[in-house]
Structure 1
Amino acid sequence: MTPHRITALFAAALLAAGVPATADAGTRLADVRVLAHFDRAAGQAAESIAPEPGGGAVVGMIPARQVVRVAPDGAVRVLVTMPLPPDGGGTTPVVGTPVVTGVARSDRGDVYFLYSAGQGGLTGIWQIRAGTPRLVVPLPADTMPNALVIDSDRFLVTDSAGGRIWQAPLRGGAASVWSADPALAPHGFFGANGLKVHDGAVWASNSDRGTIVRIPLTGGPAEVRATGLAGIDDFDFTGRGDEILAAINQDSKLVRVGADGSAETLLDAGDGMQGTTAVVVRGSRVYVTNGANLVGDDSNLLVARLRR
């Protein structure tokens, strides 16, 4: 039994005995289970998540260059496999191989995803329409687009290689840099990674620096809101103010980050985490992907229930 589970049991015993808690214990997870296993040997390292109505989800796969749909019963279907560039994709920034990363789903059900191939005409935001991918927003060949968010009538995209956040119209077209704040810059490998819009601001994680930063939608300098999260990938808000659940790829764990920046591990390797890549909260339901890209071989999609 892991130490954080022992702590949780002890806290529950105190409550049962009528001893009042001295502080808010924060969000907890219950009913954690694997919804789907993926074929890691075939390159299906699960990355980002776009939940769908009914309990299913669309998931990006690196380096299989795929987008898959997971049905509510766990059945997996490949929606698209992206072609290799003519040169094989060895010029893809940072990773040196073409990858599908962020996925997003519009309110009307359109599915979009990011492809990084180290080549113009392939790197950018793609849409799946009638089973066929089409490029809707090209991005420069030297970018490493990672997280994709739909914010009203525009796309927002993190660039892990360039340490930038790009924006582009939802209808498609040219992209422009929304922020190149120094807090987004890499420090040897991956810079800006996860991305969310919350409470009047754009929030982004920086994998190299182990931080989460907040940039007002109106512009201005980034404010560091959490530190000490080395290897952080994606993150999402729990619905309790600025409380966050963060996927720590490097250490294979899911942590709760309080509004004050404090961090607490909720799930770790002892719970089956293997290269934890993404987390999305929808109401009381939590989706977590493990890419098994740094350790293990069980790439999967987990679901859990929030206990606020």
Structure 2
Amino acid sequence: MPRRPRLTGAATAALALGLVAAAPATGTEPPVGDARVVARFDPAAGRTPENIALEPDGSADLTFAAARTVAHVTLDGTTTTRATLPAVADPATPLVRRAVVTGIARAHDGTLYVNYATGTRATGVWRLSPGAAPARIAALPPDGFPNGLALDERRGVLYAADSVRGTVWRVPAAGGPATTWARRTELRPSRAGSFGANGIEVHRGAVWVSNTDRGTLVRLPVRENGSAGAPETLARGLAGIDGFAFPGAGRTALAALNGGNQVVLVRRDGSHTVVLTEADGLAGPTSVAVRGRAVYVPSAAYRAGHGPNLLLARLRYHFGRL
């Protein structure tokens, strides 16, 4: 299908801003609206987007799990490959039995970090520096499944959520051995063969983790010495929760419910409301990113009837510190 001409960085940023420049909500409008699909992907080529990081101009970097690639997507849908992780012989990744690129995080200088789950010694956190080949900076256990990835630039560390081991790994952003930061029941799956800790974010002095199998959102405070505090389960009943993001400075979150083809608004009291559905274009959403009032949702379409895509919507409300 022909694509529209690629936008310049300035034009792309202006397009993203245009999504958020509408009049204030009346109070009767849903909190998220104006959804549209900006890019569609070919599942036969392994282009199943798993996680997302945003660039300053409003474009996005996506991990295509099955293709082992990191791609750059502009808001006119133009998609280019940034890097491909090296193939491994006889991948034996728990749960999926193939090598997959999962979580992604971006530093202010443009460096990208990704999790690579292979079931081999190649499993770990990899760095994609501008102009350089992918390089592993920390090994992780081959029998684990590193999934979501979050960067705390102030402390100079990355946090990787392990869906099998119920663990959050801590890795120096400069590279070095991974250490167990938190291993808790709240992070483990309740059943063998299921995904536990999945999405992960650093927000307001804590590391937040979704547990897919338990349908929960968990907050772990970061103590002054950098260690993990006691976990607090803030929301339950989020069946199939995957990645999530915060639309403001408070505890309100937007979460992707993969199996239900929904994005929900999770309030600080733990209640939640559906704000996007399959009718808006979702097809097994895997993660969420927010920039200003622009909401980005990649869908991998593992079970949905239509293909993978990247959806862009608009926050109608300002959430502040709610």
TM-score by length of 1: 0.88
> What is the distance in 2 between the residues matched to 1:27 and 1:125?
38
SS at match of 2:234: strand
List per-residue Cα deviations over 1:15-63 (Å, max 9, x = no partner).
97xxxx7xxx797123211121111121111110000011101000121
For residue 176 of structure 1, the aligned residue among 176, 179, 193 is 179
Shift of 1:114: 1.1
> What is the distance in 2 between the residues matched to 1:199 and 1:51?
19
Say whether residues 1:287 and 2:290 are aligned partners: no
1:8 corresponding residue in structure 2: none
Contact 1:181/1:221 (<8 A) preserved: no
Shift of 1:71: 1.9
> What is the distance in 1 between the residues matched to 2:251 and 2:100?
31
1:99 corresponding residue in structure 2: 100
- The amino acid across from 1:112 in the alignment is Y
- The amino acid across from 2:124 in the alignment is G
- Specify every segment of 5 or more residues in structure 1 that has no aligned partner in the other structure, as ranges: 1-14
List per-residue Cα deviations over 1:4-24 (Å, max 9, x = no partner).
xxxxxxxxxxx97xxxx7xxx
> How many residues align structurally?
284
> What is the distance in 1 between the residues matched to 2:39 and 2:132?
22
Shift of 1:200: 1.6
1:30 corresponding residue in structure 2: 33
> What is the distance in 1 between the residues matched to 2:46 and 2:143?
23
List per-residue Cα deviations over 1:186-209 (Å, max 9, x = no partner).
122000001111122111000000
**Are residues 213 and 240 of structure 1, via their aligned partners in 2, closer, same or farther at CA, if it must alter by over 3 Å?**
same
**Greater shift after overlay, 61-70 or 26-35?**
26-35
- The amino acid across from 1:160 in the alignment is S
Contact 2:30/2:275 (<8 A) preserved: no
1:146 corresponding residue in structure 2: 147
> Counterparts in 2 of 1:17-96, with a 5 A limit?
28-87=31-90, 89=91, 91-96=92-97
Shift of 1:166: 0.4
List per-residue Cα deviations over 1:185-243 (Å, max 9, x = no partner).
01220000011111221110000000001111113221110000111000111106211
**Are residues 38 and 253 of structure 1, via their aligned partners in 2, closer, same or farther at CA, if it must alter by over 3 Å?**
same
> What is the distance in 1 between the residues matched to 2:204 and 2:306?
37
2:197 corresponding residue in structure 1: 192
Say whether residues 1:211 and 2:216 are aligned partners: yes
1:126 corresponding residue in structure 2: 126
Contact 2:282/2:311 (<8 A) preserved: no
**Are residues 206 and 69 of structure 1, via their aligned partners in 2, closer, same or farther at CA, if it must alter by over 3 Å?**
same
Contact 1:27/1:256 (<8 A) preserved: no
> What is the distance in 2 between the residues matched to 1:37 and 1:141?
32
> Counterparts in 2 of 1:270-281, with a 5 A limit?
270-281=279-290
List per-residue Cα deviations over 1:148-173 (Å, max 9, x = no partner).
11112001110001010000111001
Higher strand share: 1
Shift of 1:80: 1.8
> What is the distance in 1 between the residues matched to 2:36 and 2:280?
10
Extract structure 1 runs of 4+ deviating beyond 4 A. Answer: none
- The amino acid across from 1:32 in the alignment is A
> What is the distance in 1 between the residues matched to 2:312 and 2:114?
22
- The amino acid across from 2:271 in the alignment is S
SS at match of 1:63: coil
> What is the distance in 2 between the residues matched to 1:119 and 1:252?
32
1:250 corresponding residue in structure 2: 259
- Specify every segment of 5 or more residues in structure 2 that has no aligned partner in the other structure, as ranges: 1-24, 318-322
**Are residues 131 and 76 of structure 1, via their aligned partners in 2, closer, same or farther at CA, if it must alter by over 3 Å?**
farther
> What is the distance in 2 between the residues matched to 1:111 and 1:56?
14
Shift of 1:78: 1.1
1:263 corresponding residue in structure 2: 272
- The amino acid across from 1:262 in the alignment is S
Contact 1:210/1:230 (<8 A) preserved: yes
> What is the distance in 2 between the residues matched to 1:46 and 1:116?
15
Contact 2:50/2:299 (<8 A) preserved: yes
Shift of 1:84: 2.6
Provide the aligned C-alpha RMSD in A: 1.7
- The amino acid across from 2:137 in the alignment is V
> What is the distance in 2 between the residues matched to 1:245 and 1:26?
17
SS at match of 1:259: coil
Identity rate of aligned residues, in percent?
43
SS at match of 1:44: coil
TM-score by length of 2: 0.85
SS at match of 2:88: coil
